Structure formats: C-alpha cells, structure tokens
Amino acid sequence: MRHSRNPLLIAILLASGLCARASGKEFLTPKEIERIQDAQEVDKRTAIYLEAAALRLKTVEERLTGKESAPGDPLEFFTVEDMLEGYYRILRSVMFTLDEATQHPRTEQAKVQKALKELKSKTEKGEKDLRVIKRLAEDKQLEAVWKLVNQALDINRGAHEGAELGLERYSDKKPPPNPDLPEPDR
C-alpha cells in the first residue's frame, strides 16, 4: 500500500506551529458531532466545523466582556480555555478532513474548492476575532488565555495559508492528477 502525504497538509501543519495542550475533554457538543457525522460531503462537513469554530470565538469574546451563557446554551459548561482549545482542534479537524478528501479519487473537485473557499473566508474573520480576544486577554492579564489565543492564531494562519495554496492548486480547469493512475501518453 502506498502512503503519500499531501504536501498541502504538511505545509498547513508546519505553518500552524505546535499542538495546543492535549485534553481528554470533547471539544464539540453532541449536536455538533451528530451534524458532522451526518454530513458526508467535504464542503458540508467543513461548513459545520467552521460554524462551530466561529461560535466558540463569539462565546469567548462574550465571556471576556462579562456576558455569561444562558441556561441550556450548548457551550454553557465550556470554559474560555476549553473553547479556545476547541477552536484549535476544530481547525485541525478541518485540515485533516480536507487532506482526506484530496486523497480520495472520487471526491468532487467543486466540493473541495467550496470547502477551501469557506475555510479561507472563515479564517480571515477568525483572525480579526482572535485579535480582539487577544487584546481582551491582555487587558485582563489572563496569561493562559493569551497563550491559547496565540496558538489559535498560529493554526488559523496555517489553515488560511493552506486554503490559499489549495485554491491555487484547484484553480486549474483540469482535475488534479491522481497518483494511483498512470499518466496519459502524449
């Protein structure tokens, strides 16, 4: 069996820096997990992951500005640190999902392009949100939060760069070469 690593994933992971602290705690809510499991297409799965990531950043900012979660809120029992770590882990999951999709010869190129565009767009917004959260952490002198924000910024930049590289790769009108098929005679 041939094992080839996607250079896109390798570039993303290198650009994203080291891993966030490892935690045994689940970083997705049960409803998010269910939605992701139901979404088989890479573009739909990516959108659900990125929606969950954006919710975490919004909730972190609200918590740091004094707004508490309402009873029954799906993130009610997540700490600010849990949500920042969750953001990091969600982006890693998106990168692995996209890597897996590009390795599978039956994945539709249009769906990968759509997922990459979504990742690029959401990481641009994520960069802005993370900068606000970083400033709040600095103002409140929350060192642990500040460190997690920096890790989230690193992976956010790596994911954004990876999305840009992927979009360049898929911008050609022809599908990417399949390494498992012989090259056509010219």
Q: Which residue has the tokens 């890693």?
A: 92
Tell me the pLDDT tens digit for each residue of 57-110. Answer: 999 999 999 999 899 999 999 999 999 999 999 999 999 999 988 888 777 889
Q: Which residues of the chain have pLDDT under 70?
A: 1-24, 172-186
| 171 contacts 110 by C-beta, under 8 angstroms | no
**Domains, the chain, ordered by start:** 29-170 (1.20.1260)
Half-sphere exposure of 96 (CA within 13 A, CB side): 7
Give residue 2's pLDDT: 39
What is d(CA 36, CA 33) in angstroms, rounded to the nearest whole number?
5
Alpha carbon distances (Å) from 87 to 60, 84, 101, 136, 143: 10, 5, 21, 17, 18
Neighbours of 29 (CB within 10 A): 18
Give residue 11's pLDDT: 47
